[in-house]
Each structure stands twice: as structure tokens, then as C-alpha cells.
Structure 1
């Protein structure tokens, strides 16, 4: 299967339009139509219905495969480019909102390497991991909640190294007037009937809470797709719902069962000399 044809198909499916996909990819609309036809001929089945554009069952299944395949191809290209390229004069570090980012570490590395420009970006967990894999970021700090022995769930983006930088207990962040606010600890399953803010980039979403607690419930409250910690905490304080967060970032009730930790990991692929120096600095105990 030609990856160029697959990329074109994914663009058409994402936009629901041949013309919009052509604009994104820099092709003519006719060229996009020809590429889709060539892919359909190769696979022996229609992938898209025309007028209006919609996925067939086969097209929907192919789209499920297309994302991981294209991500791995982009990651492979970025990894090889980093290994074969000239020393970079810039390093981009991306971090999730609740990662244990140490500003002093980055400042110290910048002072030690004055000719290298360091840029800090804030994004969601998947965006950080994907950006590191595809070369948009040189280093990433990602965080999340998991059982102590389980890895953080990251996109399948190829060969990425992960190093645990920090680990701490988690708490249920809730309004001060919540009936359980004064408890010393709580079982996660005891809060299955509560509403939880659906903030996948800043907190544990309800679907993952069900898996962690091995219990049904965990009603979805307001959806917050952003990454701003202050906004999330304001929503909690206003009574919009609960959230599972690292203990160092907010007041809350510790989770006694199941045993969970909030972990920050450094994520990277092949490293330029400047990025390697920054990575080694972050690995050192603070």
C-alpha cells in the first residue's frame, strides 16, 4: 500500500472533502480523486462515497489503521533525520500541564549552552508524545495516573525512550463543601456515582477511571478539552465535578484504593547533542 495514497485518503476522510484535502496537501482536486481511485483499485473495494463524501465500512476500517501507520512513518523519518543531521541550534521541550517541570533545570542548561535556543511548549499527553516521535519536539515531559507497576499509556509512535522523573500520590480534587472533603482517604469506587470532569488532557477521564477502579459509573460532567490547570481547578471549585490529580498540585482527598500514582516521564527519540545535554540534566535528582 502506497503511504502517499494512504495519507491522501486520511486527509479526505478528516476533512470530508476532496477540495479541502487538496488544499491541505498542495494537490489539485483532480489529483486527489485519482489517488483515492488508485487506492481503491489497489484494495479492491470502495473506501469513500461521493456526494456527500462519507466513509464506507471498508474505509472506516482503513482509517483506523491509517493513523498509527502514518504516525510510525513520520516517526521513522524524524528519527533518521535526527541521527544524520547537523548539530541543532535549537531545542524544543514540550510538557503536559501537570508534569513535574523544573524551570531551574532548563534555565541552567540554557546558561551552559548560550548559543542554543530553548523553547518551551505546553500540550496534551498524546500531542507531546506524537510531537516528539515526529520531530516537532526534541524532548517531552508527560504525566499521568497509573498503577505503580504500569507504564503510562502513550500513542504507539515507534521507538521512544521513557525515563521516570517523579512519582507521587494522587488525590480526588473536590469542592470544599463536598461531603467527603474532610476525609483522610477515599476508595475510588466510593465515588462512582459522582460526576467527573471530562478533561483528558489535564486529568484522568471518566473512561479511564472506570478501568482503574474496576467499577461502573463515574458520570461524565462538563467536558474540558483544554490544558490550563487554573481553569480545571476553577471548574472543580465551582462544583462542576471531581477530578483525579497529583497531590502536589492541589488540595484533595488521597486515594487509598486502588493503589495509584501520578508519574512524570521524560520522553525522547534519538537526540541531538544539545537535546541530550538537556535530557541528562532533567534526569539528575533535583
Structure 2
């Protein structure tokens, strides 16, 4: 690696156009300035052409000057990252389940609109993938539905998310045979969620897998579309239902004991959360506590 002092001396010679003026600027002897440049030229070849009252860069000298400028820029970036004082500039990365992700996505976009120096990298992923991404420092922040027991992970409660039985707007569901008549709209977590909720709503039922399946989607934003079109029912997390674009076409069936998941905010426990990440987290928490957030796009309820 090149000696930073030599590089700084070389850059001063180029900037001032003179070994004498460079030595005065750096408070070095002219002999020391010449020695620093000589050491660089021993390793890299001719860097400067000395002419009367003028110094000309060779191609190698121009390349070295570019390199020095890149080193200085990298140093400044490192100092900015370590200082971590400006919460409105820099990148924040977040990985979440799709349901809460749908609710948070417009909030994150609005936050970026108000703070143009922020870059927010947001990905939808299941619990296992989110935990792995945070553990391997691919994402600073994550949301998961199961609290991790890994000591490398810090976890705090972020929000509650109930499961909801959602049917077409004009349908009434009072008995198990109503679900058999409608048929099930499946999704990647569909059977697991439906089993948990319907076991409480309809104790002793013959099982969700005995219901006719009338559709499947792995896109969180599309799961409720076949329900809205009268093709069946589904069980889905609250935030995914709340963000559906046609709330008047669906109905949430109330009744029975609720099944509510806790969403856990996770990050690495060994080092403090960057200030800008903490800034984003606090904004999201305030948004999730807002009445407007919890009442937006309310569907019909039976």
C-alpha cells in the first residue's frame, strides 16, 4: 500500500505547481518533499516532468492523482458512516413479511419524499429468510412473526396483526358448510393460517384441507382478488386485507376468539442501531399507532 504521507505530498506539489510552494504549504523541507515524490516514482515510474516554472503530470502521475482523490473520498464516506449524525441521509435496509410490507411500503415512500437524502431498501420475505438476512448483515432491520431465540439478534415488539376470515361482500358465513360451499382461496401460508383461525371459529371441524380449493396466489397483493370476485374465501393477515384496493367487494367475518400474531422488529444485538435506521423505525412506529393507519380501507363486516 502506498504511504499516505507521500501521496499527500505528491498532491500538494501538483496543486501548487512547485516543490518549493508545496514544502511551505505542508511545513516540510524541500528535500523531504523531493524524497516523498522520489519514493513514489521508484515504485510507479515517472510521475512528474519538471520544467522551469511548471510541473507536468505524466499519464502515471494523472492516474496516481485520481487514485489519491478516490482515497480521500472513501475516507470522507467512512467518516460520515462512522459519525452517523445525519439521520436524513444514507441507506436504510428493511426486510418484512408481505402483509405488513404492503402497509409500510407507501409510508416508506412518503418518508423518502420528505427526506430525499434517504435511500430505503425494502424487501418482502418470510420469517426464515428475514432472520437469515439480518444475521448475515444483508439487511439492518427485519420484521418477523416469531421472536428469535438467537443471542445475536435483538427483538422488540413492533405491532399486532390479527388473522381475518375474508369472504365475498354479499356472502354470510355462520356454519362450516358455508365455507364448504364457498371454497378456499389458498396462498403460501393459507392452510396454516386458516387452520389456526378456523379451529377457534368452528371447533371440531373436519379440517381445512377437506374444503374445496378454488384458487391459489403467491402474490400478497392479489390473494383477495378472487375473493372479491366471489370465487371463495381466504384467511389472511389484517394488513394485507387492509391494503386491498377494493374493500367494498369483501367482508371480514367477525366472531370467535381472535388469533393475533406479534410482529417483532429485529436487528443485530452486538452493535448499536445506526441513527438513520432508528429514525426510520420511530417514524414507522408512530405511523402504525396512528388511527388513520388502522382505519384506512375498512371493508364490510358481518
TM-score, length basis structure 1: 0.49
Structure number with the higher helix fraction is 2
